[in-house]
Amino acid sequence: MELLSTIVNVVILIALIGLLWYMQKKHVSFSKRVFTGLGLGVIFGVSLQLIFGRTSNVISDSVDWFSLVGNGYVKLLQMVAIPLIMVSIISAIIKVKANKGVGKISTLVIGILLFTTAISAAVGITSALGFNLKAVNIEQGDKETKRGEYLTGKLADVEHKTLPQQVLDVIPSNPFDDMTGARSTSTIAVVIFSAFIGVALRGISKKKPVEAETFTKLVEAVYAVVMRIVTLVLRLTPYGILALIAKVTATTNYDEIAKLGQFVIASYVALIVMFIIHLILIAINGLNPLTYVRKTLPVLTFAFTSRTSAGTLPLNVDTQVKKLGISDGIANFSASFGISIGQNGCAGIYPAMLAIMIAPTAGIDPFSFSFIATVIAVVTVSSFGVAGVGGGATFAALIVLSTLNLPVALAGLLISVEPLIDMGRTALNVSGSMTSGLITSKWTKELDVSVYNSPNRTEDAGDSALSV
């Protein structure tokens, strides 16, 4: 009977995939298909849990098959992340206008990313204090204990390292090793290596124009191929979202989420407040924030459902250039840097909230001005090198908590709500990168305001990337 039920569930998933495929054939927009996949996944997953129970063998066996689609999709996103980052950074440097300067643009982009991360840390601290969040008030079960032990084991990667040593870790000694994702700082190391390639190419463009032109054409060819691969993967997004959300909703322990409801609410309050701050920064720079929301909504939705900043990179760049009027170079810089530097959600709000929650267990007054200032500074500096894929927030938390001499195992208390919180964190990460690109483009006078203000339909934002 259980086997039959599992087969029926898999057949239903295939049927839902068929429905999304039919919508694609009928040229239904990308964002509508993503929303449909999300909605169908929620309904399907919740229905499965209501019918069979979260801990049943039917659910376990069914989601194992669902993972072929969902986790397979995530692996494909991870597959293209490093090649995409490399060609995007090199291409960005090539496309930057000589009179603007690579150094000036990269400094502005990184500066804005770090500035907004500092603000997000302050927002996270305020939310944690406002909701009176304390780690001692959270019940610890077997799952939380195992997660805490895992985090303690991972602490060896960052423990006993001074701040200069942590910064030194992001410098690549073997870029080919970093391309395999061998280190937690591999992403930023690849960015640095790619930047050196781009700068070197610009440097030989006058002395050796033939060689420079040949290499530039090679980069453009590789960029075209990589973007084509990305396009093929992105076309699977509605199906991947369907399977991922169905798995999450079918296996989520809603009782545990209810127990941690205060933390969930506090987290989303902080995330929403920080997003509003993004809009305020945009408005201060003379741009309509509602236009930004309308044009970036499909990208933020994709980031929310996929939970990967790196996987959102192609849509991020495409939206910045074609919908917001940002130059190619700045768009590639902000999107690529935003994957590994200054993630407002994963490397800003999250570790700051954890630090405030855990501080009382170490005898520290979380309301202390000196402690709050230290947390903001540590969070900001530690945001370098946080990978824009699964586990990035955990790495950021490890660095911050260990630097502040706080027990990292207590971060495992939140494992039950991690997927739910991570969705919002990822969307905020992507918004932060696009905000940095928009403001930098405005300051360097490379923003095409006519494109920004053009009445493009929101649902078209995702489709242009898929037409590559």
- Averaged confidence pLDDT in the chain: 83
pLDDT in tens, 361-394: 888 999 999 999 999 999 998 887 665 455 567 7
User: For the chain, what is the largest distance between any 2 Cα atoms, rounded to a whole number of angstroms?
Assistant: 74
Domain coverage including residue 280: 2-466
Of 128 and 402, more confident: 128
pLDDT of residue 97: 63
pLDDT of residue 458: 43
pLDDT of residue 434: 96
Alpha-carbon distance of 401 to 379, in angstroms, equals 9
- Check: CB of residue 87 under 8 Å from CB of residue 190: no
Give me the number of domains the chain comprises: 1
pLDDT of residue 460: 47
Whether pLDDT at 461 is above 60: no
Q: What is the mean pLDDT of residues 252-273?
A: 85
pLDDT of residue 413: 66
pLDDT of residue 93: 82
Task: Answer positive or negative: Cα dihedral of 197, 202, 207, 208.
Answer: positive
pLDDT of residue 75: 82
Alpha-carbon distance of 183 to 60, in angstroms, equals 32
Task: Please state which of the ranges 131-135, 305-309, 341-345, 360-364 shows the lowest mean pLDDT.
Answer: 305-309
Q: What is the mean pLDDT of residues 236-257?
A: 84
Token output for 201? 């190419």
pLDDT in tens, 344-366: 998 899 999 999 998 998 889 99
pLDDT of residue 95: 73
CATH number of the domain at 157, please. 1.10.3860.10
Q: What is the pTM of this model?
A: 0.81
Quick one: what percent of the chain has pLDDT higher than 70?
Answer: 85
Print the SS3 string covering the chain. Answer: CHHHHHHHHHHHHHHHHHHHHHHHHCCCCHHHHHHHHHHHHHHHHHHHHHHHCCCCHHHHHHHHHHHHHHHHHHHHHHHHHHHHHHHHHHHHHHHCCCCCCHHHHHHHHHHHHHHHHHHHHHHHHHHHHHCCCCHHHCCCCHHHHHHHHHHHHHHHHCCCCCHHHHHHCCCCCCHHHHCCCCCCCHHHHHHHHHHHHHHHHHHHCCCCHHHHHHHHHHHHHHHHHHHHHHHHHHCCHHHHHHHHHHHHHHHCCHHHHHHCHHHHHHHHHHHHHHHHHHHHHHHHCCCCHHHHHHHHHHHHHHHHHHCCCCCCHHHHHHHHHHCCCCCHHHHHHHHHHHHHCCCCHHHHHHHHHHHHHHHHHHCCCCCCHHHHHHHHHHHHHHCCCCCCCCCHHHHHHHHHHHHCCCCHHHHHHHHHHHHHHHHHHHHHHHHHHHHHHHHHHHHCCCCCHHHHHCCCCHHHHHHHHHCC
Whether pLDDT at 395 is above 80: no
